[in-house]
Amino acid sequence: MSQDLANEPSDSLSVTISGGSMGGLFTGIALDNAGHDVTVAEQSAGDLRSRGGGIVAQQSIRQFLSRHDIVDPATITTRASERRFLTADGDVRTSTSDSMVFTSWDAVYRQLRAAFPDDRYHTGRTVTGLRATDGAVRFADGDRTAADLVVAADGGQSTARAQLFPETEPEFADYVAWRGVVPETDVSDAVIDAFDGRFTFYQGERTLILAYCIPGGDGSTAPGDRRLNWVWYDTLRGRERDIIFTDTTGASQQFSVSPGHLQNPVETRQRGRATEILPPVFADLVATTAAPFVQAIYDLKTPQMTVDRVCLLGDAAFVARPHTAAGTAKAASDAVELKAALDRHSSLGDALASWDDARTDYGERLVAQGKRMGDERLSLGS
């Protein structure tokens, strides 16, 4: 720890956050409420609200929304009281009581964005470099700034992580997640019934699909206004990764191909595979999805989450497989614990060291858990 950080007070900090998505907003709101001078820089110039699909509304997310007086979580979540596994024919193989709470990425983002001041949330601001020793930040337009604390919440393809830990690389699994979101008005009553109030799965040979109800595009949770969110983990064969992750422009993508950008032969083949191997309600769900998309499954972990004045937060530091249903929840917890560490310690250096130790340990355990769930329990990995 540098002498400056060891002696520097942890209160009333100037904070620059790189990334204005979930992790950046959780952190911005938590630190702003604690009295720090926070600015968020988001590289996208447009609206982020249409991104993503369904997420599990873990307790840490719901507590954050409640404790910061952002929104009553009940108004933007759906619930399931039963976990079902279907047979290939669509019959119920097993059914158990299980309480789960779901929401959508856009419903949570909308509430977080409204809770953070507009005059300190800057779009079209791409961070291209930083200096950890003094908190200097460089932007793509040539502008520069400096802060007492820099929080890199810029996701799995973090610029800050690439600069601080260039040797850290994602480790790709040999399966992917196909995903889609469908308005419930677009599907039959039989399909809605299979997922309404239920967390429904089908597990075949090296394949697993699940689905549940989430809020509608406007955040409504009323029957008829909701959407169905599905995630289909399916094994890669041969050179499929290269083919699947080449989008409609011919560009090779490493991590995902967004809705509307799957090549037609890729999309057609996966829809056909759904008809061949999935239970009818799942096959109908895939067939009805207007713009499915695909995400790579990978593990990523950094050796530490702080370097001098820079923190790596959320997916910028650790990416666990989605089986853990903890990506958004971890970002919320990282933010809450960062605020708590700054409150608890009188020096910035001590606060960051304490936060780093605890959150790095948690991130490593979460990545390991996700790998076990995919590779062992689901028999999907290598």
| Same domain, yes or no: 202 and 278 | yes
Can you give the pLDDT at residue 203?
94
Query: How many whole angstroms separate alpha carbon 170 and alpha carbon 158?
Result: 12
CATH code (residue 88): 3.30.9.60
| Same domain, yes or no: 135 and 242 | no
Query: How many whole angstroms separate alpha carbon 33 and alpha carbon 117?
Result: 11
Biggest CA-to-CA distance, the chain? 66
| Same domain, yes or no: 198 and 156 | no
Q: What residue has token string 């204005």?
A: 20
Which value, to the nearest 10 degrees, does the dihedral of the CA atoms of residues 62, 231, 201, 191 take? 100
Can you give the pLDDT at residue 237?
80
The domain boundary residue, chosen from 263, 297, 331? 297
Q: Residues in the chain with pLDDT < 50?
A: 381-382
Exposed e or buried b per residue across 217-254, where buried means at least 16 C-beta atoms within 10 angstroms of its C-beta: bebebeeeebbbbbbbbbbbeeeebeebbbbeeeeebe
Range of the domain at 364: 3-45+124-168+302-377
| Same domain, yes or no: 263 and 209 | yes
Closest CA to 170 of 316, 374, 19, 55: 316
59 lies in some domain: no
Q: Which amino acid is at 171?
A: E
| Same domain, yes or no: 158 and 192 | no
| Same domain, yes or no: 255 and 287 | yes
Query: How many whole angstroms separate alpha carbon 220 and alpha carbon 212?
Result: 15
50 lies in some domain: no
Count of positions (residues) in the chain: 382
Measured CA to CA in angstroms, residue 278 lies from 94, 263, 316 at distances of: 16, 22, 35
Closest CA to 242 of 259, 230, 223, 257: 257
Tokens of 367: 């990545």
61 lies in some domain: no
Q: Please say whether the dihedral angle defined by the alpha carbons of residues 242, 156, 22 and 100, taken in this order, is positive or negative.
A: positive
Phi-psi region of 318 (alpha: psi -120 to 50; beta: other; left: phi over 0): beta
The domain boundary residue, chosen from 280, 297, 314? 297
The domain boundary residue, chosen from 243, 268, 297? 297
Q: H helices then E strands: how many in the chain?
A: 11, 19
Could you report the per-residue pLDDT of 328-354, keeping only the tens digit for each? 999 999 999 999 999 999 999 999 999
| Same domain, yes or no: 162 and 179 | no
Strands 306-307 and 198-204 turn out to be unpaired
Q: How many domains does one find in the chain?
A: 2
Can you give the pLDDT at residue 382?
45
Q: Phi and psi (nearest 5°) for 355? A: -65, -45
Query: How many whole angstroms separate alpha carbon 356 and alpha carbon 337?
Result: 10
